[in-house]
Structure 1
Amino acid sequence: MRRTSARFKLASVAAIATAVATLGALTASSGSAAEVPQDTVSTLAVGSPTGFGAGTTGGAGGTTVTVTNASQFTEAVQRSGAVQVRVNGTISLSSMTKVSANTSILGVGTSGRITGSGLNVSGVSNVIIQNLTFSGSNDDAINIENSTRVWVDHNTLSSAYDGLVDIKRASDNITVSWNRVFSHDKTMLLGHDDGNASQDRGKLRVSYHHNWFDGTNQRNPRVRFGNPVHVYNNYYGGVTSYGVASTKEAGVLVEGNYFENTKDPFHLGEGSSPAGTLVARNNHFVNSGSGQAGGSVNGIPYGYSLDAASSVKSIVQSGAGAGKI
């Protein structure tokens, strides 16, 4: 069953209603973002992350800002202090936009869209990116580097120049959940270079769960150094090159996923990168290969509930992506 419970949904609806009522009482100058003062709204994010990103709170308890254009958006996501940024409309970015620590970026309904370029989560901690549609970035859709406690949840991502969600350079304690990705080649990279061991060993621990890899090509994800990396309860539908690759000292647990029309669900090594280790268990295969596993993986250090792999397709298709929370 889905991890977003009814109580979280109700709490979110109540919080949004409070924010809307408060926003209506404010007078904003033309072209300015409307704001709710600190502590008026505790959190607008729906649910909470499980896995390595548990405990990420983003801008909870901070100022809430509703933005409708790129200049408002850029100013809001680069503020210091806790801030919740509600995206209401299409934000057209010309270059990768830096995101500050203790920030939540949240789409309003199905209207929150980011196009043209993407978000750069670099050298910060405690960031939530939820319920947004990303398309047409001239770089990555979301780049995460030198950062910890990040939750990327319930987004729809496609057609970036480079990666959709790339995580690198000693980033750690991250959850990527309930996203739909499509129309893309190099989807999710974890660890950017075989020569970055001094920075990446002991880091790059990421949980990928309940994501819909919808006809993507490769890197779903491609992993270096992270051990353990937990890939569970995802739906791979028509993935054309490969699903998961474990390379260069990585240890990946591939668990309870649904692979359909995917000839190469997972394997060891990729390109010039040597093999990592990979443990596969309780996966479901429909018109797909059996995958290549080998070696051992560090234990998963958190508790979690696993959906039956045979049910994952219907669960993920009904729940993944923007507008599904």
Structure 2
Amino acid sequence: MIINHLGRPAARRRRPTAAAALLVAALAGVGGAAHADVSGSERAAGFGAATNATTTAACTGTPGGFASVNALGQNGTTGGAGGPVVTVNTAAALKDYVGRPGPYIIQVSGRIQVSGMLTVVANKSILGVGTTAEITGGGLQLGSTTRPGNNVIIRNIRFSGAEDDSISVTNKAHHVWIDHNDLSDGYDGLLDIKRESDFVTVSWNHFHDHSKSALLGHSDSYTADIGKLRVTYHHNFFDGTDQRHPRVRFAEPVHVLNNYYRNNALYGIASTENAGLLVEGNYFQNVAHPIYVGYDKSGPGRVVERNNLYVGSGTPQTAGTVVEPRTYYSYTVDDPATVPAKVSAGVGVGKIGC
């Protein structure tokens, strides 16, 4: 049954979130590559696991999901591999290096106060050092209309208090991996992916203390997104955030795998404007509206849901059929009953040995 939600999204709200209990566990790796078990590099990167077994100061590893796909002239996502390693601790230095041509591995040290959106151009790895790396006051925009933001990795950084978006993947950026970050308390979206961007993996991130979490698709009128916006969201914690986990327009397929949803006041996921989402292996806790088909003034999308758990939550809406992500990559699904402990223990900064 297709039901459009007619309520307006709530304004941004700042409110405390209870700290998640971190459970000490050995987390088994899952995921895949080319119709087989995942490779060691994917397992180290956290496609189904949180581990620092093979990481170094440069956060080595490769993603699973759509960022791993060989497409558009890019074989997976390598970021700044092969380029100089630099460490930055000021806004000026960060702005300089993310905007330079060529590959760079940029290590963010400590708390950096920025203003507005810093434009990140192609072939960059932006990696937080230790547990205290933070970008506050502003955010990162991947690419401009004249300078592509392709092949970018962002890991192990806390984002807070952004004047606009915390991270914006836009302007046809492709092959992007956003992994093990902490995002909260911005002005607009915490993580928006839009304007013909493609082949993105969002993994092991902690979203909290915010309303609008993860937009996918610019607007109802931006039909250029049709055939683009292929994104994998896996093992993220949407912790008390209100909405957009994600809110999707036009994209297909979008793979929402093994995420933990808790106390999401407006809704969990919304598929609109003929988007196609596969939602599987997730755990919804105290979410009255876990999945919407259509939302606000946006027309309905399509959703296939399987093997999810709904605890103290409402009934999900589903509709239609969706292209299988296995058309692009292989993977395995964690038992959804293990998701709250595994995701709570593995998300956010300080988990991958940067």
TM-score (norm 2): 0.81
Q: Cα offset for 1:10?
A: 4.0
Match of 2:149 in 1: 124
- Which string of whole-angstrom CA distances, capped at 9 and with x for unpartnered residues, describes residues 58-92 of structure 1? 00111000011111111111111110000011111
Match of 2:261 in 1: 236
Asked whether 1:149 is paired with 2:170, we answer no
Q: Cα offset for 1:124?
A: 2.1
Cα distance in 1 for partners of 2:206, 2:301 equals: 26
The DSSP-based 3-state class of the residue aligned with 1:117 is strand
The DSSP-based 3-state class of the residue aligned with 2:340 is helix
Aligned counterparts, 1:42-57, within 5 A: 44-54=58-68, 55-57=76-78
The DSSP-based 3-state class of the residue aligned with 1:160 is coil
292, 303, 312: which one aligns with 2:339? 312
The DSSP-based 3-state class of the residue aligned with 2:242 is coil
Q: Cα offset for 1:47?
A: 2.7
Asked whether 1:101 is paired with 2:122, we answer yes
Cα distance in 2 for partners of 1:154, 1:75 equals: 24
Q: Cα offset for 1:196?
A: 1.2
Cα distance in 2 for partners of 1:245, 1:128 equals: 26
Cα distance in 1 for partners of 2:102, 2:78 equals: 13
Q: Is the 8 A contact 1:2 1:315 kept in 2?
A: no
Asked whether 1:76 is paired with 2:76, we answer no
- Please tell me the residue identity of whatever aligns with 1:62: G
Q: Is the 8 A contact 1:257 1:283 kept in 2?
A: yes
The DSSP-based 3-state class of the residue aligned with 2:331 is coil
The DSSP-based 3-state class of the residue aligned with 1:279 is strand
The DSSP-based 3-state class of the residue aligned with 2:341 is helix
The DSSP-based 3-state class of the residue aligned with 1:71 is helix
- Please tell me the residue identity of whatever aligns with 2:313: S
Q: Cα offset for 1:2?
A: 4.5
- Which string of whole-angstrom CA distances, capped at 9 and with x for unpartnered residues, describes residues 114-148 of structure 1? 00000000232100000000000000000011200
Asked whether 1:259 is paired with 2:284, we answer yes
Match of 1:19 in 2: none
Q: Is the 8 A contact 1:2 1:319 kept in 2?
A: no
Q: Cα offset for 1:48?
A: 1.5
Q: Is the 8 A contact 1:260 1:286 kept in 2?
A: yes
Asked whether 1:192 is paired with 2:221, we answer no
Cα distance in 2 for partners of 1:61, 1:173 equals: 21
Q: Cα offset for 1:6?
A: 5.8
Match of 2:239 in 1: 214
Asked whether 1:162 is paired with 2:183, we answer no
Asked whether 1:11 is paired with 2:36, we answer no
Match of 2:204 in 1: 178
Higher helix share: 1
TM-score (norm 1): 0.88
Q: Cα offset for 1:12?
A: 2.1
Cα distance in 2 for partners of 1:234, 1:10 equals: 23
Dislocated runs of 4+, deviation >6 Å: none
Identity within the alignment, %: 50
Cα distance in 2 for partners of 1:260, 1:308 equals: 15
The DSSP-based 3-state class of the residue aligned with 2:265 is coil
Cα distance in 1 for partners of 2:175, 2:59 equals: 15
- Please tell me the residue identity of whatever aligns with 2:186: A
Match of 1:33 in 2: none
Cα distance in 1 for partners of 2:29, 2:222 equals: 36
Q: Is the 8 A contact 2:112 2:136 kept in 1?
A: yes
Distance 1:165 1:2, change over 3 A: farther
- Please tell me the residue identity of whatever aligns with 1:321: G
Q: Is the 8 A contact 2:137 2:162 kept in 1?
A: yes
Cα distance in 1 for partners of 2:323, 2:132 equals: 41
- Please tell me the residue identity of whatever aligns with 1:192: H
Q: Is the 8 A contact 2:52 2:351 kept in 1?
A: no
Asked whether 1:223 is paired with 2:248, we answer yes
Match of 1:66 in 2: 87
Task: Give the RMSD, CA atoms, in angstroms.
Answer: 1.3
Asked whether 1:286 is paired with 2:287, we answer no
